[in-house]
Amino acid sequence: MPELFLNDYLSIAMFLGVIAIVLSGFPVAFALAGGAFAFAMIGALAGVFDTSILGFLPSRVYGVMTSEVLVAILLFVIMGVILEKSRIAEEMLESIGLAFRQINGGLGFGVLIVGMLLAASTGIVGATVVTMGMLSLPTMIRNGYSIPLSTGIICASGTLGQIIPPSILLIILGDQLSSAYLKAMQESGNFGFDPLSILDLFAGALLPGLMLVAIYAAYLIVLAVFFPRTCPPMKTEGAPVSMLRLITVMLPALSLILIVLGSILSGIATPTEAAGVGAAGALVIAIIKGRVSLPVLTQITRSSLIVTSMIFMIFIGASIFSLIFRGFGGDELVERILTALPGGRIGAIAFVLILMFVMGFFLEYAEIVLITIPIVGPVIFQMDVNPIWFGVMVGVCLQTSFLTPPFGFALFYLRGVAPPEVTTGAIYRGIIPFVMLQILAVCLLLAFPQIATWLPQTIL
């Protein structure tokens, strides 16, 4: 370990102190800003912090609030909330379940497909898990599905919104990685690099996200063939759903996904422009289905405002935190620590991913990204690490953390809406196989980085 000085100790204390304040239940944005200011005053009194650095705060806050890229967060939140309130997920789940009702695991495949489509059309993990839990868990239990399997597939498919674009996590991550990559290249004297964009990260995350869906589907097929009692056919009576009915239910969501993702990946529209089209398209679908009323519009506006305001406040608090952390020379301390780790580049990447994984037990993904990426990103990228691959690895790592007992947020979301007969232990048992599948996906990305880098290199 490198030799530490007073400002280094204060940097470490500030990092740990802010996390402790967040864990105490204090609002994250104010914990980041207030904790950083408190340590800045301590550092100034100790003579190791230059308070003139605080003069950069107005420009940093103004940069956050005027960022065109971050407007996409608001628009994608609006799109997701509209689709949630218009009951499109409920219709898709019912129709797909009936279409596959005669085969083992059919309802499970329906849950996985709907989870994937919701992930690609909303990007809001909490809302997806809660919606899927309320709609599908009672149905799966009523049809004889194993309770652990039911809870596992709902949590796993619900968290696909972390990694399948357009994901709010990817937007926040892409914004922070872009700044960190720019800083790293400038400090290394490389001015001929191609800047990183959110579009790059969307393209890089698409195949890994679909790979996860394929891995989950393969696991369901194995269960359906060798353990059919865990996922029997549906007991529903009557004629199966018609192809016309299935197309009618699926077409709106599929069209919206193709328009939004297609326009982004083809370069026709920026993520912000595509998000605007997606929000407008979701509203049109809701109007056509007759699901729009003044109370519904009020709920949509309120939910979107709450989520977006929270994210932007965290952005501002994290910007203040990172500025003061650098004022202590914390970025230089992180560089000394990461370069001193055994294993070189691989050891540094492993340390960062494990740190973020553990933080995912206690903090939301936005908080983790905004606290850690500005600090560790420039150091990692100076080690000649592909920023797209690293961003996808962070996304999958945080998704895995979201699922892992005993602290995974997705487990608590489902616990809140699960029927009384579903115990917390059953939820934990059900998610363990899917955590193992997530670890398999991480290993595949480590062994074959091209899974994340091939599509961006091909289409961009």
Structure tokens at 154: 């709902």
- Tokens 């999958």, located at residue: 396
- Tokens 């809140």, located at residue: 416
**Is 60 exceeded by the pLDDT of residue 239?**
no
**Is 90 exceeded by the pLDDT of residue 20?**
no
| pLDDT interval class at 220 (50, 70, 90) | very high
**Three-class SS state of 24:** coil
145, 158, 430 from 105: Cα distances, Å = 9, 18, 15
For 384-398, the pLDDT digits (tens) are 899 999 999 999 999
Which comes out higher in pLDDT, residue 181 or 405?
A: 181
What is the C-alpha separation between 121 and 365, in angstroms, rounded?
19
> What pLDDT, on the 0 to 100 scale, is given for residue 420?
82
**Is 80 exceeded by the pLDDT of residue 44?**
yes
What is the C-alpha separation between 348 and 336, in angstroms, rounded?
11
For 122-160, the pLDDT digits (tens) are 666 666 787 778 778 888 888 888 999 999 999 898 888
Instruction: Using a cut of 0.85, tell me whether the model's pTM lies above it.
Output: no
Boundaries of every domain in the chain: 56-459
What is the C-alpha separation between 377 and 383, in angstroms, rounded?
10
| pLDDT interval class at 455 (50, 70, 90) | very high
**Is 70 exceeded by the pLDDT of residue 338?**
yes
> What pLDDT, on the 0 to 100 scale, is given for residue 38?
92
How high is the mean pLDDT of the chain? 84
